[in-house]
C-alpha cells in the first residue's frame, strides 16, 4: 500500500472501528454499495460512486491527451489556461504545481485577474471545464476569451480551435462546445461528483495538456485502489480518524503540507483541494468537519482543543493530536476521497450532495436582475469602508482612526466558543495576494479556527459548510475597488457587477442566518490591505 497514515495523540474508541468492521464498510464501499449512508442518501449515492473506478477507467485518456498535447505544440500552442471552479480546477492546480509545469488557473470573477490571464494569446489554448456546464464564472470567462481571440484577429473557426472542453454528456456546455467548433471535447463520467473528480477528465485534461505525467498519477491511485476493500487499509484508517476526532469534539481539521521536507516531496495546493472535498462533503445538517488550510505545520491554528492536525506528505508524527499522511499525489487523491466517504458515514450525513450551495447563487442572480442594494457604510476609515450585520458593529466606536481594527476586534469577540472565523476575499489572487496574510494574523489574535478563502472560489468549497454546517461562524468579507472593469460579452453584467453580486449574494445568505459579519470594502486595495495588516499585526 502506497499510502500511510500515522495517528498520534488521538484515541480511537473501539466501537467506532468495530462498527465499521462489522458492517463490512471497506468492501461494501469498493463494491459501490449506495446504502452505506442511509436511505435518504441512497438515490444520490447510487450515481456518485464512479470515482472508485477512475484509476482504471481514465486510462484511455492518457494517450489521447499525449496526442492532443503534441498537436497543440506543433501549432505553437504551449500556454494552457484553465477556466473552471471548485471541482473543475482545484485538482489540476495541485497536479501541475506538484509536477512543476505551468498552468494558468482562472477561478475568479475579479476583472483585473481575468484581464491579466488574457495575455500571450498567440500561444494560448483555453480549457473550459464545468461538470454542470452552467457555472456562471466559467461561462463568463469562456465568453471573455472568445471575444479576446476574435479581437486578436482570429476568425470563428480559428477561435473554436483554441478551446478544449471538459463537461458531462448532455450539459449546456457540451452544446456550446459543438456550436463553437471546439478543438476537442472530453465528456466525463456523470457518476462522479465534482469534488471527487480529480482522477477523471476534469483533473487529467488540463494537467496533461500543461505537461504533467497523468499516467503516473493513475498508477499511484491504482496501487492504492488494489487494497481498499481490506479492513484496516490506510484510507479507511484516515476516515476513521476523521470521524473519531469529530465525535471527540475535534471538528476542525487543520491541513498542512510537509513543505517538501522529509522523505516525501511537497504537494503544493493540496490543502485547498482537500478543503473543498471535506467542507462540501461533510458540512451540512448543522454539523461537519471544518478544514483549515495552514501556511505551515506550526502556523497559528495547528493546535487547540477542537483541532486535529493533518500533515500531508509527511511520515513523521507532529505534536499533539495529529495525522501524518504520506504517499504520492495519485494515492492521496483517492485515499482522501475514500476517507471522506467513510467519515461521512460516521457523521451520519450524505457526503455526495451540497444542499446549501445554490442559495448564494440564487441571491446573486436576484441581485444581477434587481441591482445591488444601496448599503451605506457605517464609517470610512482611511482606505476602508466599514459595514456590518448580525449586531457586529453594535457599540463599536468607528469614529477614531483605528475604527477598522476596532470593528475587526468586535468581530473576533463575536466568534462563539468552538466557533470559527472565515475570511472571504473577493479580490485578485495575484495582485492582492497579501490578503492571505490576514489568516495567520487573525488566528493568532482569535485563538479560534480561522480560514481564508478567495471569493468566489470558496463559494464552491467552504461556502457549503458556512451555510449548512454548525452555525458557529463569524465572517469577514473583503471587497475592493475595481480599477478597470471588463465586460462579459453578450451578458447584461460585467465582471465587476458579477463579482459584487456574488459577494452581496453570500452576505445575504449569511445575514439571513443572523451570523456576525463584517464587510470591509477597500477603496484602494493595496493601501486598504496595508492599513488592515499593520493595524492588526
Ligand atoms: O464543474 P461545475 O459544474 O462548473 O461546478 C463547479 C462547482 O460548483 C458548485 O458550486 C459545486 O458546489 C461544486 O462542487 C463544483 O465543483
3-state secondary structure 88-134: HCHHHHHHHHHHCCCCEEECCCCHHHHHHHCCCHHHEEEEEEECCCC
State the chain's mean pLDDT as an integer: 96
Tell me, in angstroms, the distance from the centre of ligand 1 to residue 87's CA: 6
- The sign of the dihedral angle between the CA atoms of 144, 145, 148, 149 is negative
Residue 91 grid cell: 485538482
Q: What atom of ligand 1 comes closest to residue 90's alpha carbon?
A: 16
Q: Does the predicted model carry a pTM greater than 0.95?
A: yes
Tell me, in angstroms, the distance from the centre of ligand 1 to residue 413's CA: 33
- CA-closest residue to ligand 1 atom 13: 460
Looking at residues 319-340, what average pLDDT do you find? 96
For residue 64, is it left (φ>0), alpha (ψ between -120 and 50) or beta? alpha
| Correct CATH for 357-536 of 3.40.50.10490, 3.40.50.720, 3.40.50.740, 3.40.50.300 | 3.40.50.10490
Residue 201, pLDDT score: 98
User: In this prediction, what percent of the chain has a pLDDT beyond 90?
Assistant: 94
Identify which of 87, 141, 171, 196 to mutate to test ligand 1's pocket (most ligand atoms within 8 A of the CB): 87
Residue 318, pLDDT above cutoff 90: no
- CA-closest residue to ligand 1 atom 7: 86
Q: What atom of ligand 1 comes closest to residue 464's alpha carbon?
A: 12
Q: What atom of ligand 1 comes closest to residue 132's alpha carbon?
A: 3
Looking at residues 282-306, what average pLDDT do you find? 96
Tell me, in angstroms, the distance from the centre of ligand 1 to residue 298's CA: 32
In this prediction the ipTM stands at: 0.98
Residue 69 grid cell: 498535447
- Residue pair 354/280 in contact by the 8 Å Cβ criterion: yes
- CA-closest residue to ligand 1 atom 8: 460
- Residue pair 288/349 in contact by the 8 Å Cβ criterion: yes
Per DSSP bridges, beta strands 79-83 and 104-106 are parallel
Taking Cα atoms as reference points, which of 247, 260, 345, 491 lies closest to residue 26? 345
pLDDT band at residue 383, thresholds of 50, 70 and 90? Answer: very high
Strand order in the sheet with 384-389: 379-381, 384-389, 517-522, 473-480, 420-426, 449-454
pLDDT band at residue 374, thresholds of 50, 70 and 90? Answer: confident
Residue 530, pLDDT above cutoff 80: yes
Q: What atom of ligand 1 comes closest to residue 276's alpha carbon?
A: 14
Tell me, in angstroms, the distance from the centre of ligand 1 to residue 201's CA: 15
The domain over range 4-31+229-347 is classified in CATH as 3.20.20.80: no
Tell me, in angstroms, the distance from the centre of ligand 1 to residue 167's CA: 11
Tell me the β-bridge partners of 520.
386, 478
Tell me, in angstroms, the distance from the centre of ligand 1 to residue 385's CA: 31
Q: How far is CA 277 from CA 4, 56, 144, 301, 532, in A?
A: 20, 21, 29, 20, 31
Tell me, in angstroms, the distance from the centre of ligand 1 to residue 352's CA: 12
pLDDT band at residue 261, thresholds of 50, 70 and 90? Answer: very low
- Spatial CB neighbours of 301, under 8 Å, sequence gap ≥ 6: 252, 254, 292, 294, 307, 439, 440, 443, 449, 450
Beta strand segments in 397-470, E: 420-426, 449-454
pLDDT band at residue 315, thresholds of 50, 70 and 90? Answer: confident
Tell me, in angstroms, the distance from the centre of ligand 1 to residue 205's CA: 17
Q: How far is CA 50 from CA 44, 45, 129, 334, 469, in A?
A: 12, 10, 18, 12, 26
- Spatial CB neighbours of 84, under 8 Å, sequence gap ≥ 6: 92, 105, 106, 107, 127, 128, 129, 130, 135, 138, 166, 202, 206
Peptide bond into 456 cis (omega under 30): yes
Q: What atom of ligand 1 comes closest to residue 167's alpha carbon?
A: 1
Q: What is the signed CA dihedral for 387, 461, 138, 192, rounded to 10 degrees?
A: -160
Q: What atom of ligand 1 comes closest to residue 86's alpha carbon?
A: 16
Tell me, in angstroms, the distance from the centre of ligand 1 to residue 45's CA: 17
- Residue pair 525/170 in contact by the 8 Å Cβ criterion: no
Q: What is the signed CA dihedral for 390, 392, 397, 401, rounded to 10 degrees?
A: -120
Q: What atom of ligand 1 comes closest to residue 87's alpha carbon?
A: 16
Identify which of 82, 83, 86, 206 to mutate to test ligand 1's pocket (most ligand atoms within 8 A of the CB): 86
- Spatial CB neighbours of 429, under 8 Å, sequence gap ≥ 6: 108, 110, 113, 454
pLDDT band at residue 316, thresholds of 50, 70 and 90? Answer: confident
Question: Could you read off the pLDDT of 108-156 as tens digits, one per residue?
Answer: 999 999 999 999 999 999 999 999 999 999 999 999 999 999 999 999 9
- Residue pair 476/424 in contact by the 8 Å Cβ criterion: yes
Residue 264, pLDDT above cutoff 60: no
Tell me, in angstroms, the distance from the centre of ligand 1 to residue 278's CA: 14
Homologous superfamily (CATH) for 53-220: Glucose-6-phosphate isomerase like protein; domain 1 (3.40.50.10490)
Residue 500, pLDDT above cutoff 90: yes
pLDDT band at residue 317, thresholds of 50, 70 and 90? Answer: confident
Picking from 47-51, 270-274, 369-373, 449-453, which range would have the lowest pLDDT averaged per residue? 369-373
Identify which of 48, 82, 128, 135 to mutate to test ligand 1's pocket (most ligand atoms within 8 A of the CB): 135
Residue 272 grid cell: 485547498
Tell me, in angstroms, the distance from the centre of ligand 1 to residue 11's CA: 35
- Spatial CB neighbours of 413, under 8 Å, sequence gap ≥ 6: none
Q: How far is CA 42 from CA 234, 345, 464, in A?
A: 26, 12, 20
Residue 263, pLDDT score: 39
Q: What atom of ligand 1 comes closest to residue 88's alpha carbon?
A: 1
Residues with CB under 6 A from ligand 1: 85-88, 130-132, 135, 138, 194-195, 280, 354, 357, 460
Question: Could you read off the pLDDT of 163-214 as tens digits, one per residue?
Answer: 999 999 999 999 999 999 999 999 999 999 999 999 999 999 999 999 999 9
Residue 260, pLDDT score: 47
Picking from 395-404, 420-429, 480-489, which range would have the lowest pLDDT averaged per residue? 395-404
Residue 450 grid cell: 480561522
Residue 389 grid cell: 450585520
Taking Cα atoms as reference points, which of 302, 343, 282, 268 lies closest to residue 450? 302
Per DSSP bridges, beta strands 384-389 and 379-381 are antiparallel
Q: What atom of ligand 1 comes closest to residue 361's alpha carbon?
A: 10
Domains of the chain, by residue range, sit at: 4-31+229-347, 53-220, 357-536
Amino acid at each position: 500500500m502506497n499510502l500511510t497514515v500515522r495517528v498520534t495523540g488521538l484515541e480511537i474508541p473501539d466501537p467506532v472501528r468495530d462498527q465499521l468492521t462489522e458492517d463490512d464498510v471497506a468492501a461494501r464501499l469498493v463494491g459501490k454499495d449506495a446504502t452505506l449512508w442511509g436511505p435518504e442518501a441512497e438515490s444520490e449515492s447510487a450515481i456518485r460512486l464512479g470515482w472508485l473506478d477512475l484509476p482504471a477507467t481514465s486510462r484511455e485518456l492518457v494517450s489521447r491527451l499525449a496526442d492532443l498535447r503534441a498537436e497543440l505544440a506543433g501549432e505553437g500552442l504551449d500556454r494552457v489556461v484553465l477556466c473552471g471552479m471548485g471541482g473543475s480546477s482545484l485538482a489540476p492546480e495541485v497536479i501541475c504545481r506538484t509536477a512543476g509545469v505551468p498552468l494558468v488557473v482562472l477561478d475568479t470573477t475579479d476583472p483585473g485577474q481575468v484581464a491579466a490571464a488574457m495575455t500571450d494569446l498567440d500561444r494560448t489554448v483555453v480549457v473550459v471545464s464545468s461538470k454542470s456546464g452552467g457555472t456562471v464564472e466559467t461561462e463568463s470567462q469562456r465568453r471573455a476569451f472568445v471575444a479576446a481571440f476574435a479581437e486578436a484577429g482570429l476568425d470563428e473557426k480559428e477561435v473554436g480551435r483554441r478551446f478544449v472542453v471538459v463537461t458531462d454528456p448532455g450539459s449546456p456546455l457540451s452544446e456550446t462546445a459543438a456550436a463553437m467548433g471546439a478543438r476537442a471535447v472530453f465528456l466525463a463520467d456523470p457518476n462522479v461528483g465534482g469534488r471527487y473528480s480529480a482522477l477523471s477528465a476534469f483533473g487529467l485534461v488540463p494537467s496533461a495538456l500543461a505537461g504533467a505525467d497523468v499516467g503516473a498519477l493513475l498508477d499511484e491511485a491504482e496501487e492504492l485502489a488494489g487494497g481498499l476493500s481490506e479492513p484496516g487499509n490506510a484510507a479507511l484508517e484516515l476516515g476513521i480518524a476523521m470521524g473519531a476526532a469529530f465525535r471527540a469534539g475535534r471538528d476542525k481539521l487543520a491541513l498542512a503540507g510537509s513543505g517538501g521536507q522529509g522523505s516525501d516531496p511537497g504537494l503544493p495546493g493540496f490543502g485547498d483541494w482537500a478543503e473543498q472535498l471535506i467542507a462540501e462533503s461533510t458540512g451540512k445538517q448543522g454539523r461537519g468537519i471544518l478544514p483549515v488550510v495552514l501556511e505551515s505545520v506550526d502556523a497559528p491554528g495547528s493546535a487547540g482543543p477542537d483541532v486535529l492536525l493533518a500533515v500531508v506528505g509527511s511520515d513523521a508524527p507532529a505534536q499533539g493530536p495529529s495525522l501524518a499522511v504520506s504517499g504520492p499525489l495519485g494515492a492521496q487523491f483517492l485515499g482522501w476521497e475514500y476517507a471522506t466517504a467513510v467519515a461521512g458515514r460516521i457523521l451520519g450525513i450524505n457526503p455526495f450532495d451540497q444542499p446549501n450551495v445554490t442559495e448564494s447563487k440564487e441571491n446573486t442572480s436576484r441581485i444581477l436582475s434587481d441591482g445591488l442594494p444601496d448599503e451605506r457604510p457605517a464609517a470610512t476609515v482611511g482606505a476602508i469602508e466599514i459595514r456590518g450585520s448580525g449586531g457586529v458593529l453594535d457599540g463599536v466606536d468607528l469614529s477614531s482612526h483605528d475604527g477598522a481594527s476596532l470593528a475587526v476586534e468586535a468581530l473576533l469577540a463575536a466568534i462563539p466558543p468552538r466557533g470559527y472565523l472565515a475570511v472571504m476575499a473577493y479580490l485578485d489572487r495575484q495582485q492582492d495576494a497579501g490578503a492571505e496574510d490576514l489568516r495567520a494574523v487573525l488566528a493568532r489574535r482569535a485563538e479560534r479556527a480561522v480560514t481564508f478563502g478567495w471569493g468566489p472560489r470558496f463559494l464552491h468549497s467552504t461556502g457549503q459548510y458556512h451555510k449548512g454546517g454548525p452555525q458557529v461562524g463569524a465572517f469577514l468579507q473583503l471587497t475592493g475597488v475595481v480599477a478597470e472593469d471588463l465586460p462579459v460579452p453578450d451578458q447584461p453584467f460585467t465582471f465587476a457587477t458579477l463579482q459584487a453580486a456574488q459577494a452581496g449574494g453570500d452576505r445575504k445568505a449569511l445575514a439571513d442566518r443572523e451570523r456576525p459579519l463584517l464587510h470591509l470594502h477597500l477603496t484602494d486595495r493595496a493601501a486598504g490591505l496595508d492599513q488592515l495588516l499593520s493595524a492588526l499585526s
